[in-house]
Every structure is written in structure tokens, then in C-alpha cells.
Amino acid sequence: MEQELGAVLADGGCRFRVWAPHVQKARVVLQSGTAWDHQDPVEAIELDRSDDGYWQGFAAGVTAGRLYRYEFDLDGECFQRLDAAARDVLHSELTRYNHASENASIVVDPSYDWTPYRTPRFENFLIYQLHCGTFAGRNDHLDKELAGFADVQHKLSYIAELGFSAIELLPVQEFAMTRSWGYNPAAFFAPESAYGSPRALRELVDQAHRHGLAMIFDVVYNHAGPGDNILWEYDGYRGPRNQGGIYFEGGRWTDWGRGPAWWKREVQEYFFQNACMYFDDYNADGLRFDVTTQIDGNHLREVLWRLRNRYPDKYLIAEHLPADPWITRVGNFDASWSAASHHEVQRALAGHNPVDKVASVLGWDGFEHAWNLVKYTMGSHDDVGDDRNGNAKDGRSKWDARHRYLVDQFGGRADWSARARCRLAWVLNIAMPGTPMLFMGGECHMGSPSVGWGYWHDTRDDNGDHRFDWAIAGDSLGMPMRRLVAAANRVRWDNPALRSDTLIVTHRDADNQVIAFKRWAGGNLLLCVANLGERSFSERDYGVATDGQSGQWTQVLCSQDAAFDGWDGAGNAFYEPWTQADGRVYVNLPKLGLVLLRLK
């Protein structure tokens, strides 16, 4: 790695390094206190320029907590900037537009006494995705509008008891304003000041590890809002046609404006060092890269090659949609999100050619391993979240594009059949090949009381408060789903077959909307039977083809059991059928349910 960017404590002081190729002079200016005081004198340290446009210098006696800015001279103008690689800032306001701003970069000590923890093997990731600011505070003992890193710590036992092995946080870098989903980065190296300090984020990661939970950070390297991010026109140079200066000129045009200039070695180095920071300073176990299709893959893969070589045991995930094997075979990622796993299962649960729809997302075609795909049958934040008062993607008139919790798509949490479909969806997710992921709230049928507005958002809107509701999480409808999620996750941990690179579809019955597949690892073999139809088979008379698998079977899970909001006798408790001469095993098969059988 090139010399580290930003402010680095060392040798009784602090080293500073910043890329500003167009300025004639550069200095770091330092102050004490908790806000930048324009009346106070500052200590100024002149920086030396290298041939590649970086400026560096050393300030003796500087310790953690010291405020600083960079001051640049360009063509007779003197102006100040926050550090592009600041590990902390006071808030998201930029000095570029408000010269009276009291914002400043903060020197950070990254040292921490970490609890010993080993990142899971890639087949052992079972991910719970959450948004820090809204996961706590509503109808719980915290009672606050915006949660932070310390508040999420109170909820770690909840996640661990559900049986997940990893948390994936929506972006927590400093973003514009104080409320956001996180996909509008303002300062890439600093944690969101409304959530807490770098120390508080380290404590969250450490406590997650103590609970047996790996930590995955979501990083946004494909775009930044024009004008409201720290990099825009950073050293005063605008470039041709005002493209944003050194970090953006010649960058790809994205759905959110001008993207970073990934064609530049210095920009690649900037994002490489940012990714390294999460591993080195925050003990991360993985990164999820936002919308990699809007970054030039030939440049991105060079950075990923460096990351994979430096951190071979860390899980590097791309939001590369549609999923393409290029991203792992050539692009050097470990995995890609699979949006089809949600969209096709949702359509299947609506009765749209269900057997073929489910079959289309069971495998990992073109990828080397099942864990090369992250699957989320109940939806990710993109599918569940809505920031347009419930009408994102014209969802009010377009059911298939609607952003809602899955339970809301089928009638709301008060509708039993909607809840049954959600149970089926999650058990299918843990049974099919791939890395399962659940967005917060899916485990308890999160949604508003009135049908139609069951979506997540980071605040109130015209249709109410859409943060995670802890009253719902523990109510009479939420608890059975929580029990189902925990039981399904336990089955995945107890059966290595479900974490293996194996799959054979043994049974397809389009008339009854039933599909079955088997998976195996060593002596562990499971048969997964999904009934997506409205007809129950209750006389142990539904024959499931086993692809020649003889022997006796025992049920390990039925999504329609009474404990999960189904009914007594829905499945095959106390009944251990044998494969018959016709190669089928005859079982009870409840409507809108999934039965998992293990070969004895």
C-alpha cells in the first residue's frame, strides 16, 4: 500500500498526507477545542509536495482528538478543506460552501483491544441486514428518534438468538444531513457523526464479535452527490465542463450524477485505502460494494485483486445486478447479490408459474460455489424500503415493482396466508444453495397496521413511522415468525448439506405447484419439498420423487407447524416414512408450506 492517507499518529506526533496536485502550497492547520473557532490562532505546519501531487508533513505533539484542516494556496486564493481521508469529522457540513463553518477533521487513535474472533468460512455466513439509525428507539426502552452505534449493541442478543452469524450494516460513513439510508456519502473515511464516534463503532463491532456475529460494512464507491461530498472540486480545480475536479473528472455518469474517476491510479488508491480501513481499524469481516455495475469493472477488479490478496479470509460482496459470474471469476469478488432470488420467489408466491420461478433461482449457474451468491427471498433494503411515500418505482400501480415488506405484498401481517408465504420464503432461503440474507423486520412481519404501507423508511412520512417497531417484534403475530426464523436457521447450522455446493431437483409438479430438491454433504442428506399452492395433502398421500434415494426419512422442519402460526398435524411429526418401490416418499404436505426431511 502507498503511504497512508490522512492523519496517522506516529513517533510522538502525527503524519499528514493529502492528494492536491493543482495547489501551489499546502499546510495543515490545527486547533484545540470541540469546534473550529475562526477567532482562535491556529498552529500551521507547511507540507512538502512530492512529484505525484501528494503533500505530506509531520506535526510533533499532536494527539488524538485534535482538530485540523488543510489550507491550500491556488492562483492567489487561499482556502481550507476538510481532510479527504479524515477518520472523523464533527459533522457533515462542508467548508467549501460555508466559510464560517465550525466543522473540522479530527485526529483519531485507531488502537483497540479487540476480543479474539475469527471470520467465518464463506459458506457459514448467514446475514441479517440492518440500518443503524432505525433499528432501535421505537417502542423500546431507548425511546429515541435516531439510534446510534451504542443503541444497536442492545439488540445484538436478539440477532444472535435468531441464529444469524453476521450483521450487514447499511452505510455508516458520514453522509449529508443526519438522517439517511446512507447512500449519499459526504466523508468516506469518517463514521456518521449522528451515530457516534469511531470508538463507538469499534465497540459495536467488538460486541458483535462477542455475540458470535461477523460484521459486514456497506461501502459506496460508485457515486457521491454533486456538491455535497468532501471530494468535489477538492483542491480547487474544477476540470473541463465543471466535472467535479480531481476525484471526478472523466468519471462515469451514474444514476446519481458524476461518478468517481476510477480510471485514475490516485482514485483507485483512495478507495483501496478506504476499504483497508474497515479491516485494519474496525476489524471488519466483509464488505458489500454498492452498485458495482456503475464502476468500470476493469479498474475495480485491480483494487479487488489487492484486497483479496491482503485479506484472503474476508468476504467481499458486490451488488452486481443481474448477478454475473464475471464478478467472481474475473472481477475478484467473493460473491454477488442475487436480486432474482427475491423477485422470482415473490412472483412464484403470487402464483405466477411458481415451479419454474423457484427452480430458476435454486442453483448457482456459472459460479464456482453456492456462496458466490447472496440470496434474499424476502427482499433487501432496496425491495423493502420506500422513500417516496409508498410510491417508489410507481409501486402503487405496479405490484411487481412495489417496495414493501413481503408480508405486505400479499395482504399485510393480519392476513394468515400472507404470513404463511413469508414462512415458506424464509425456509426456502435457508434450504436453497447460496448465502441467505434477511432485512430487519422480515423475521417478525414488520409493517404498518394499515395494509398497503408496510415498508421501511428511515423516518416518518405521509403514511406514518416506518422505523423498526419493537412492539410488533414481540406481538402475537411477530413471535411465531421469529420462532420459525430461529428454527430454520438452526436447521441450516445442524445440517452441513445446506451449506454445501450440491443440488438436484428431484420433483416438479406444476399442477399442484410443488417442487422438491435434495442436498447433501457426507452422510447428511436433506429433501426439501415446497408446496406453493393452496391445496393441503393431509393423508400422508403426496408422493415426492427422490431421484432414486432409498431409505427412511425424518422431518426436521415444517413451516406450517402450530408453533409457527400453522396448525397441529400440518407436517409429519412422529411419522418417519420410507422411500417406496416407485422411488417416492409419501408425506403430509401443507398448503403454502415447506417440509424439510432428512435421510436417516
Q: Is residue 14 part of a domain?
A: yes
Residues 6+ apart with CB under 8 A from 470: 136, 138, 139, 140
Asked whether the beta carbons of 217 and 284 are under 8 A apart, the reply is yes
Which residues on adjacent β-strands are paired with residue 578? 552
How many CB atoms lie under 10 A from the CB of residue 342?
Answer: 25
The terminus-to-terminus CA distance of the chain in angstroms comes to 53
CATH number at residue 572: 2.60.40.1180
The total number of structural domains in the chain stands at: 2
**Which mean pLDDT values do the consecutive 10-residue runs of the chain (600 residues) have?**
91 97 97 88 93 96 96 94 97 81 95 97 98 97 97 98 98 94 95 98 98 98 84 92 91 88 97 98 98 95 98 98 96 98 98 98 97 98 96 93 96 95 98 98 86 90 95 96 98 98 98 98 97 96 96 98 97 96 98 98
Q: How far is CA 326 from CA 342, 352, 366, 542, in A?
A: 21, 30, 9, 41
Dihedral through CA 460, CA 461, CA 466, CA 470, nearest 10? 40
Residues 6+ apart with CB under 8 A from 352: none
Q: Is residue 541 part of a domain?
A: yes
Q: How far is CA 263 from CA 250, 268, 299, in A?
A: 8, 8, 6
Q: Last residue of some domain: 76, 106, 136?
A: 106
How many CB atoms lie under 10 A from the CB of residue 557?
Answer: 24
What local confidence, expressed as pLDDT, does residue 31 receive?
94
Asked whether the beta carbons of 190 and 88 are under 8 A apart, the reply is yes
Asked whether the beta carbons of 438 and 485 are under 8 A apart, the reply is yes
Peptide bond into 260 cis (omega under 30): no
The rounded distance, in Å, linking the Cα atoms of 87 and 95 is: 17
Q: How far is CA 74 from CA 16, 99, 456, in A?
A: 20, 16, 46
Q: Last residue of some domain: 64, 88, 106?
A: 106
What local confidence, expressed as pLDDT, does residue 365 receive?
93
Which residues on adjacent β-strands are paired with residue 130? 169
Reading the block at residue 255, the C-alpha cell is 444514476
Long-range interactions of 500-506: CB distance < 8 A, separation 24+ = 500/123, 500/370, 500/433, 501/364, 501/369, 501/370, 501/433, 502/433, 503/362, 503/363, 503/370, 503/432, 503/433, 504/547, 505/359, 505/362, 506/544, 506/545, 506/546, 506/547, 506/549
Q: Is residue 349 part of a domain?
A: no
Asked whether the beta carbons of 286 and 125 are under 8 A apart, the reply is yes
Reading the block at residue 297, the C-alpha cell is 469493472
The rounded distance, in Å, linking the Cα atoms of 242 and 245 is: 7
Q: Is residue 62 part of a domain?
A: yes
Q: Last residue of some domain: 106, 121, 140?
A: 106
Asked whether the beta carbons of 285 and 166 are under 8 A apart, the reply is yes
Of 425, 439, 481, 375, give the one whose Cα is nearest residue 134: 439
Q: Is residue 135 part of a domain?
A: no
What local confidence, expressed as pLDDT, does residue 1 receive?
64
What local confidence, expressed as pLDDT, does residue 121 receive?
98
Q: At what angle do helices 265-280 and 297-310 cross, to 10 degrees?
A: 30
Q: Is residue 265 part of a domain?
A: no
Which residues on adjacent β-strands are paired with residue 585? 544, 579
The rounded distance, in Å, linking the Cα atoms of 259 and 254 is: 6
The rounded distance, in Å, linking the Cα atoms of 153 and 148 is: 9
CATH number at residue 50: 2.60.40.10
Query: Torsions phi, psi of 357, nearest 5?
Result: -65, -45
Residue recorded with cell 399442484: 512
The rounded distance, in Å, linking the Cα atoms of 406 and 412 is: 8
What local confidence, expressed as pLDDT, does residue 253 receive?
86
Domain ranges, residue 67: 6-106
Of 234, 8, 4, 231, give the one whose Cα is nearest residue 107: 8
The rounded distance, in Å, linking the Cα atoms of 15 and 20 is: 16
Burial profile 400-433: b = 16 or more Cβ within 10 angstroms, e = fewer: eebbbbbbbbbbbbeeeebbbbbbbbbbbbbbbb
Coil, helix or strand at residue 525: strand
Query: What would the 3-class secondary structure string for 375-417 be?
Result: ECCCCCHHHHECCCCCCHHHCCCCHHHCCCCHHHHCCCCCCHH
Residues 6+ apart with CB under 8 A from 108: 7, 64, 87, 88, 198
- In the DSSP assignment, the letter for residue 230 is T
Reading the block at residue 341, the C-alpha cell is 432470488
Residues 6+ apart with CB under 8 A from 375: 338, 341, 342, 361, 429, 432, 434, 435, 436, 437
What local confidence, expressed as pLDDT, does residue 456 receive?
96
Q: Is residue 574 part of a domain?
A: yes
Q: At what angle do helices 478-494 and 416-431 cross, to 10 degrees?
A: 20
Q: Is residue 84 part of a domain?
A: yes
Coil, helix or strand at residue 539: strand
Reading the block at residue 550, the C-alpha cell is 432409498
Of 12, 31, 127, give the one whose Cα is nearest residue 429: 127
Predicted TM-score of the model (pTM): 0.97
